[in-house]
Structures are given as C-alpha cells and as structure tokens.
Structure 1
Amino acid sequence: MTNCMLTAIADLPPRIDTGVQGLNDILSGGLPSGQMYLLEGIPGTGKTTVALQFIRTAIKAGEAALYVTLSESKRELEASARSHGWKNEDLSIAEFIPEEASLSPDQQYTVFHPSEVELAFTIQKLTELIEERKPTRLVIDSLSELRLLAADTMRYRRQLLALKQFFAGRDTTVLLLDDRSAEGSDMQLQSIAHGVFRLDKVPQSYGATRRQIEILKLRGSSFREGFHDYTIETGGVRIYPRLIANEHESTFPTERAKSGIPSLDSMFGGGINRGSSTLLIGPTGVGKSTLAMQFAYAAAKRGDRAIVYAFDEVLRTARERAEDLGLAVGEEIKRGTLSMSQVDPAELSPGEFIWQIKSDVEEKDTRILVIDSLNGFLNAMTGERDLLLQLHELIAFLNQKGVITFIILTQHGLVGNMHTEIDVSYLADTVVLLRYFEAEGEIRQVISVLKQRIGRHERTLREFKFGEGGLEVGGPLKEFRGVLTGIPDSINPALNATTRPE
C-alpha cells in the first residue's frame, strides 16, 4: 500500500454508532463523524424516534449531546421517549418556540422565546447554546419551522449555509430533521448536507403500513443502496437491511438429507443435496406441506434444526395433521430441533420476514427451512418484480449457508390443466411436481421429480398416499399413461375395461 493511500485512509473521519439497529449495517459501520446530515420524511415515519436513538447512544457513551426542538415541546418529546421504555433523566432537550406559536409567553418548558420572528435571531441563539454546551451530537427538529421563520427561500438557504460553516471544523455530528413540507423537492437543501436519508410510508390496501428507508447520498463513503424495510416498535426504530447473498459466502460439507422413506429418497438419487432449494408445486391438498414436513421432521430427529414458516395454515392444524401421520413433531419442538412459525403477510413486511430467516439461520444453525407457501409470500409483496428479486437473493443466501430450502407453490385448479400466478421454477435447484389423477374409481396422488441440478434423479411417476404409518411412496406407475392429465389410460386393456364405463 502506498504512502498516499495510507494518508487518505488516516484522514477519513471515524464512524459513530447511530443507535438504530440495522442502520449501521447499511452505512458500512456507522455515520462519519463531524458532518451534517439530513433526515427527511413525512409525519409518522419515525424521524423523532431515530433522532432520540441517535442522541441516547451518545449519552450512554458519556458524550455531550443536545436535542433542539422547534416544533414539539419538551414534555411531548419526553412522553415519546417513555413510550419506548426509555428514561428521560439524561436527555438534554432545548426548546426554541416563537412567542406567536404559544398561547402563554411564560411557559415553564420553553427555554427561549425569540422576541422577533426572524430566522437570524433564532440561529444566533442556537449557535450561542452550542458554544456553551459543546455537544458532540446535535439534533435540530425541524427545518420546516426554520423555513417558516425565514422571510424568503433565498434567505433560508443562506442561513443554512452559514450554519454549516459554523459547524465546519467542529467535532459535532449534526442531524437535521425535515418533514418535506416545502413545495417540490428541495435539492439545494440536500446538496448542503453531507448525507441524506429519506423515510417513507408505503400505502397498503389492507394490513399494517409498510415503511422503508433509502440513503440518497453519503459523501465519500460506501453504503448499501436501495430501499430497506423498517418498523417502529417499543424500543425504537428497527431497520432490516436489504439482503445481498454475495456477502454471506461459507463452506459446508457435501451431503444429502434423507426423508426417512427409502422409496422417496431414491427419487432424488439418495436424498436432497445440502445447500439447495426444492420447489414443491401442485394443487391444494395434494400433499405438498406433508412432504416438506416429512423432510423437516426427519432432519429434526437426526439433530439438525428445522423450521417451518406457515403463511396459509394455522399452526395447530399443521401440527395435528403431522401427528396423525405418525410424525411426533411436538417432541421435536420441545427438544428445540424443530420450530414452526406463523407468518401474517398483512402485518409482516418482506424485508422483516427475510431478516427473520437470516437471523434464524446464522444464530441457530438451521439446516432445513420450509416456506409454506410462496403464494402467501407473494401476497406480502408490492409487485411481481420485487418478489423475484428478493426471492432470488434469499435462495442464494440460504444455498451459500448450506441450508436445504423447501418452497411450496400452490397451483390453481385441481385436476387437468394447471396454472400458477408466477413462474419461479427456474430459481429452484430441484422441482417436484405433485398431481391428482383418477384410477379405478378413486382420486389418487402422484409425485415426480422434474428437475434436479446436482446429481442424477429418477424420471418416474410414483403414487403416494397417506396411510396409517405415515406417508407412503409406491413404485413407478408403469401400468398407466397420461397420468399428469388427471385422467390416465391404462396400458393393460383388461384393466381399462374394468375401470371405465361402457
């Protein structure tokens, strides 16, 4: 490394903890210190909560921090902090409220009452307070109030530039809050700031409001681009960084996971490869969930942790069905080798769901993962393109972690011609087709492995059924042709004559 490069690295400002879970990850380690940043978003996006977390982190580290409010009162801010379970003893809050904005000029919570409604006077009082307190972190909430105090737009921007010059050379990291109440996009305001973060609400026709954060710019620093889901919970804002599979490469032994049913394992050439994804596709009720549960239960009994994410079915029903087939899932759940999680797509954002999976895999060493079903996951997405991109990254991440993933996709229709809302078969390493068919006056089920990228697999059609001893997979259906149409013909004419009406 050259001396110039070493000097450049040494000149980079240190990164500071934002106090917001997930935000440091997006910012490649935190905010470069000693700079001015703009946090913008419409009301209700969590700007104040992020700012309070930013200030509290500094206070916990023993640093001097100051929250300057020009809109909400100190009492309101302290109430907001208490709603998150935070103590207010150490919060340093200063109010700057014009006299006209108050019915009583002698409010006990007001620190300063500017005698003139002028921006310059307010800025002067602000700089005097900063000179006195010398905070390492400062929040100004919000710029919309400064904008109202200014006589015109030009003067407002000039004062902001003067404020930026005031902080130049000082070891103060400034966070400016803006509710985007100005007409149009204030690009000049964004150009003044060292970094710009935007919080947005994503409207939904049903269910909880989705929220996303985007880093619009961060001068001289790398960051994770794109939109990242976040939630406002008791305890603060929590961000779920967009998953990038290439950042999570790992090594694992090559092995095949068995289902415990020899005839089923033989269809996959001895089992399903670790670090691969399997798509189970077929009509409703054909046995997709049961087939995935068979592999999950077998893994749990071996001591490999498995988890089932259920979108479409109540967990109690899924457990009872598994128990009826002889799969003692309750015992494995008690042992901690098997977990079942109910997912409500109306309440859970896609980014939060993917982050849950990532945490489960990395923190609990999960080996088998079932998503039941992709139709439910699709309902949680804002569009088909988003589904494919996020699903691609999720599957790639799981494959690189050595996880065996089962994705269930329900097709429309029951017998004969089938269709799906979206084609994702190209994303999976293995595709398993399940169908109903009619034979000998009964509705029966058939299974076939259509595709497997790694290793050889059977190309036969086998009948399977649910017996008293659990899932049973028979031999190849050599006596029929046209099974996948739903109404097959028997190759044996005598059998055909006895099973078909004249």
Structure 2
Amino acid sequence: MLKDGFPEGFTVLVAGDPGAGKTIFGSTFLYNGMDQFGEKAVYVSLAETKEDFYEEMKGLGMDFEKYEKEGLFKFIDLVTVTPETVEKEIELIMSEILTFQPKRIVIDSISTFAQLLGLKKTRMFLHTTLGRFIKSFGAVAFLVAEKPLGKEEIGFGVEEFVVDGVIVLKYSKLGEIVRRIMEIPKMRKRSVGRAEYEYIITSKGIHFLEIPELVRGTEEASTEKITTGIEKLDELLAGGVYRGSITLLVGMTGTGKTTFGLHFAITNALQGRKAIYFGFEEPIGQLIRAARGYGLPIDEALQNGLKLEGWVPEAKSPVYTFLKMKQMIDEFKPEVVVIDSLTALREHMDDTELAKMLRYLSLLIKEHNITAYITLNADTNFETVPFTKASTLADNIIGLRYAINEGVIERYLSVIKARGSNHSKKIHRYEITSQGVVIYECKDRTL
C-alpha cells in the first residue's frame, strides 16, 4: 500500500475505535521487523502487563518471548505508572531505548501518556527526546491513540502533535456483520493508492484484502469443454461448459440447485479434476447424505479430489468471505468450484458489497482458469433473471422452476444463456430421482 513501507525516522500516529485492532496492528509491525529482518523492537505499554501481552500475542501466532530471549525485543511496562512518577519513568525509558537502539518502537497508548504527563510535556517528549532518537537512528515509531467510538476527532489533543503519518483504524457493525477499515489520511514521502482498505483479524493476526486489478486477462479463452455431471445437460449445452466459465443456476427452493451442483462437483472429481464445494446453506453431513440418496458416488469422489467446505456467512463481512475462499482456492488449486448459494451470502450483505465481492471472485476464478457453478435462490420465468450483477458475470445461466400440472408438481429447466455455444433453446422437463437428475424432452404444456 505504501510501496516501500515506512520511511526511516518516521513517527506515525495509529488512531482507532475500540475493537479496531490497534494493539495487534502495532504488535504485528514490531514482530515482522524482528521475524523478517532481525530488527530490534521496543513496546511501551500503558494498557496491559507483559504477561497479558505475551499470552494474547501467542494466540495470534506471535511469540514475543522468544525474541526477548534472543535479545531483539524489550517490553516496557508502564501500566502502574502515576502522574507523580511518569517523568522519572520517561528518563528510564529513554535510557533503555538509547542503550538498546531499536529500529521499531510502539507506545500504546499515547492518549494515556498525554493524560499522565499533560499535552505540553508530551509534545516536548515526542519532538525532542524521542523524536531526536528516531531521526538519528533511522527508527520508526508508532504512537497508538484512542479514538472515541462514533466520533471523528482522535481525542486527548493527540491530533495536534506533528507526526509524519496518520493511520486511522475503524470498527463498525451493520447488523451481525463486523467491518474493520483502515484509512491513511497522511503519510509524507509516500503516495497512497486508495482511500481505505478493509482488513480482518484472524488467529494469524491482521490480514488485508489484496484487491485484484479489475482487468480481464488477455489470454485466449479455452475451447475445452468439461461435463456438467449430467449427460443430457451436456447435450443441451453442446458438449458441456467451457473450462474457465462461470455457470449461474437460478431457481426457487425445491428446484434442485444443490443437486445439480453435486452432480457437477462429484463427476468432475471422479474424472480427475480437483473440486471444492462451498456450502453456505446446508451442513456438510447433510450434503453427503443427500448425494448418497440421489445415488451419487460422493464417498468415492471425496477420496479422489473433492473437498467439501461449509460455514454460515452471517457475522462475516464480504471481505472475510472472499478472503477465506481465496485462501482455500490458492492452497487447494481446484479446477472446479461450486458456490451454494449466493442467496445465503446476499442475506448478510447489501447488494453493493455482494456485487463487489462477486466481481473479485469472478476475476480470481478466471485467473486460475477454474470452472465454477454458482446457485441463486430466485424465481425465473426463463426470460429474466433477478440480481443482474450476478447474471452479467455469468457465462452460462440455467433456469430452474416448477409448475403444477393436473395436480402434479413438475420441474422444468432452460438454458437461458451460454456464451459461445450453440445451446438448446427449448424448455425441458426433469426429475430428481434415486439416480440423480434425469432430463426429458418437454411436452407442450403451459408453465
């Protein structure tokens, strides 16, 4: 984001809402300096004890105790310091810093520091004592500041300090969804590409979404077709779906979208293609039971390249969902992916955020030349498709619906769209049997 990172001799204000991850952000900055470059680091804490800090960071995969033993890290505990003793403690801090000569320093929090010392003396400490060291030794210091929740000002007058850079971490909730956003309103000597960056906090620390360039690849599209897992559907699509294409399955509940997805994933796995099935609606055990009930050899497929992944997307932002799928795709390297369903994601995201996530996902799919099935729970009359953002990204659209004819529920399908294929333009009847999906020629009936 900053191209070459933080310039040497910089003081950076890291301000944020409660719960935004300021301590984790600063700690990661120190830890990566030690872990990747062997740089010495100092953490000055006015918020938590050394024992609590070490325990919390170990839970995030950062072993500060290890680097303390190796002589790369110092933790300065000022949790119990009082206004009467703070100036004496500052002398001790600077004495340790001058002796240790760290390249990275975090003071958490400067807001508490200012309360104890007063604004005037805090400015003097930052600009003279600490500031001179940072400039002389080419170090970088993070000053962590509390930002009152729901307010724009940073608070405690910290925004008045002259710093080289400002990073603002924001925490917000929309219903059950938690979002964390980073803004960089100021960073001397560096150009910042975007106004904000979304991030998540996982068991491995902070992860930012690596936004792909919104540009289609220039490679020639594949002419190879792969099976849908249903022989008759392959015939309707003139031989299957193109490798690297995205197929949208649209239909109301009960039309069998999940069954079509299982056919696709299982058959391709058995033909030697690695496949991931992302299920956002049904538990994995229920998917396995359903596949067995339809006579699909899912147990064999699970031994031959099929991976079933399921979680409920509520309380997770679109970034988290995309990042998790991206990580699995990067690690597993599948040729086939099923996302079931888009509706489950849509219930917990607004359409703008979902459309953006779908855009990034489609670019990821195209980049890896993955063939994908995406299901959408919606009614279609075979002429129009709801949620046009998804239909625009799809190379193929298969509509599924049911109707009551003479007191009997019958299911129908139509290939609404198939780019580059001489696909069937007819409406076909199908059934879900103990042998899976069976498609028939449609008789003349009113739908």
CA distance in 1, matches of 2:387, 2:214: 29
CA distance in 2, matches of 1:51, 1:378: 34
1:409 pairs with 343, 367, 376, which one?
376
1:173 Cα offset (Å): 1.8
1:403 Cα offset (Å): 1.1
CA distance in 2, matches of 1:265, 1:398: 21
1:428 pairs with 394, 405, 419, which one?
394
1:172 pairs with 125, 139, 159, which one?
139
Q: Map residues 68-217 of structure 1 onto 2, 5 A cutoff.
A: 68-84=44-60, 86=63, 88-89=65-66, 90=68, 91-96=73-78, 99-100=81-82, 113-114=85-86, 122=90, 125-152=92-119, 156-157=122-123, 159-162=125-128, 163-181=130-148, 184-186=152-154, 189=159, 192-206=162-176, 209-217=178-186
Q: Map residues 245-394 of structure 1 onto 2, 5 A cutoff.
A: 245-246=213-214, 249=217, 251=219, 253-335=222-304, 337-381=305-349, 383-394=350-361
Residues 7 and 189, structure 2, Cα contact 8 Å, conserved in 1: no
Structure 2 counterpart of 1:205, which letter? G
CA RMSD of aligned residues (A): 3.3
Residues 145 and 158, structure 2, Cα contact 8 Å, conserved in 1: no
Report the structure number with the largest CA radius of gyration.
1
Please give the per-residue CA displacement for 1:250-304, whole angstroms capped at 9, x wherever unaligned: 8574311112433211222211112221111111010111112211112111111
Structure 1 counterpart of 2:47, which letter? S
For the structure 1 residues 81 and 229, does the alpha-carbon distance in structure 2 shift closer, same or farther, using more than 3 Å as the test? closer
Is the aligned partner of 1:465 residue 2:418?
no
Structure 2 counterpart of 1:263, which letter? K
1:155 Cα offset (Å): 6.3
For the structure 1 residues 326 and 210, does the alpha-carbon distance in structure 2 shift closer, same or farther, using more than 3 Å as the test? same
Structure 2 counterpart of 1:141, which letter? D
CA distance in 2, matches of 1:195, 1:454: 52
CA distance in 2, matches of 1:260, 1:75: 56
SS at match of 2:23: helix
1:446 Cα offset (Å): 0.6
Residues 358 and 390, structure 2, Cα contact 8 Å, conserved in 1: no
Structure 1 counterpart of 2:74, which letter? S
Structure 2 counterpart of 1:228, which letter? E
Residues 38 and 190, structure 1, Cα contact 8 Å, conserved in 2: no
For the structure 1 residues 181 and 284, does the alpha-carbon distance in structure 2 shift closer, same or farther, using more than 3 Å as the test? closer
Contiguous gaps of at least 5 residues in structure 2: none
SS at match of 1:299: helix
Residues 46 and 77, structure 2, Cα contact 8 Å, conserved in 1: yes
Bigger mean CA offset, 211-220 vs 384-393:
211-220
Is the aligned partner of 1:227 residue 2:197?
yes
CA distance in 2, matches of 1:257, 1:396: 20
For the structure 1 residues 459 and 393, does the alpha-carbon distance in structure 2 shift closer, same or farther, using more than 3 Å as the test? same
Please give the per-residue CA displacement for 1:352-409, whole angstroms capped at 9, x wherever unaligned: 221222223333221111111111111232x221111221221122123211121111
Identity %: 26
CA distance in 2, matches of 1:463, 1:184: 59
1:433 Cα offset (Å): 0.7
Residues 31 and 64, structure 2, Cα contact 8 Å, conserved in 1: no
For the structure 1 residues 392 and 299, does the alpha-carbon distance in structure 2 shift closer, same or farther, using more than 3 Å as the test? same
1:243 Cα offset (Å): 2.9
CA distance in 2, matches of 1:229, 1:56: 18
For the structure 1 residues 79 and 364, does the alpha-carbon distance in structure 2 shift closer, same or farther, using more than 3 Å as the test? closer
CA distance in 2, matches of 1:285, 1:172: 62
For the structure 1 residues 115 and 290, does the alpha-carbon distance in structure 2 shift closer, same or farther, using more than 3 Å as the test? closer
SS at match of 1:394: helix
CA distance in 1, matches of 2:383, 2:228: 30
For the structure 1 residues 315 and 294, does the alpha-carbon distance in structure 2 shift closer, same or farther, using more than 3 Å as the test? same
Contiguous gaps of at least 5 residues in structure 1: 1-25, 106-112, 484-502
Residue of structure 2 in register with 1:56 after alignment: 31
